[in-house]
A and B are shown apart, each in its own frame.
Chain A
Amino acid sequence: MNENVLNAEVLPASRTGSWLHYYANPGRFLRLAQPVLPWAAAVSIILTVTGIIWGYAFAPADWEQGNAARIMYVHVPAAWVAMAGYAALAVCSFFSIIWRHPLADLAAEEIGPVGAGFTFVCLVSGALWGKPMWGAYWVWDARLTSVLVLFFLYLGHIALIRAFDNRAHGYRAAAILALVGAVNLPIIVFSVQWWNTLHQGNTISITGSSKIYITMLYPLLIATLGFYLSFITLVTARLCAAIMERKTRALLLAAAERAS
Chain B
Amino acid sequence: MNLAPFIDGSYAISVVFLVGVFALTYTRYRNAVKRLAAVEKR
Tell me the A residues contacting B by CB distance below 8 Å: 37, 41, 45, 48, 52, 56, 66-68, 70-71, 74-75, 78, 114, 117-118, 120-121, 124-125, 128-129, 131-132, 230, 234, 237-238, 240-242, 244-245, 247-248, 251-252, 255
Contacts and interface: CB of A to CB of B under 8 A. Distances in A.
A74 B11 contact: yes
Contacts of B22: 41, 45, 230, 234
Contacts of A68: 3, 6-7
Interface in B1-23: 1, 3, 6-7, 9-11, 13-15, 17-18, 21-22
25 contacts: A52-B11, A56-B7, A56-B11, A67-B7, A68-B3, A71-B7, A74-B11, A74-B14, A75-B10, A117-B17, A120-B17, A124-B13, A230-B18, A230-B22, A234-B25, A237-B25, A237-B26, A237-B29, A241-B28, A241-B29, A241-B31, A242-B32, A244-B32, A245-B32, A251-B39
Nearest to B13: A124
A125 B10 contact: yes
B21 to A, nearest CB: 6
Contact of A48 (B6, B18, B32, B39): B18
Contacts of B10: 71, 74-75, 124-125, 128-129
Nearest to A71: B10
Interface residues of B, number: 26
**Residue among A248, A251, A255 facing the most chain B CB atoms (10 A cut-off):** A248
Given A234-B21, A244-B33, A248-B32, A52 B7 contact: no
Contacts, number: 88
B3 to A, nearest CB: 5
- Give the 8 A-B residue pairs with the shortest CB-CB distance, closest first: A125-B10, A244-B32, A241-B32, A74-B14, A128-B10, A71-B10, A128-B6, A244-B36
A66 B3 contact: yes
A247 B22 CA distance: 23
A50 to B, nearest CB: 13
B39 A248 contact: yes
B17 to A, nearest CB: 5
A132 B6 contact: yes
Contacts of B13: 121, 124-125, 128
Contacts of A74: 10-11, 14
**Residue among B3, B15, B22, B36 facing the most chain A CB atoms (10 A cut-off):** B3
Given A117-B21, A237-B28, A241-B31, 10 more contacts: A41-B22, A78-B14, A118-B17, A120-B17, A121-B14, A128-B13, A132-B1, A230-B18, A241-B28, A242-B32
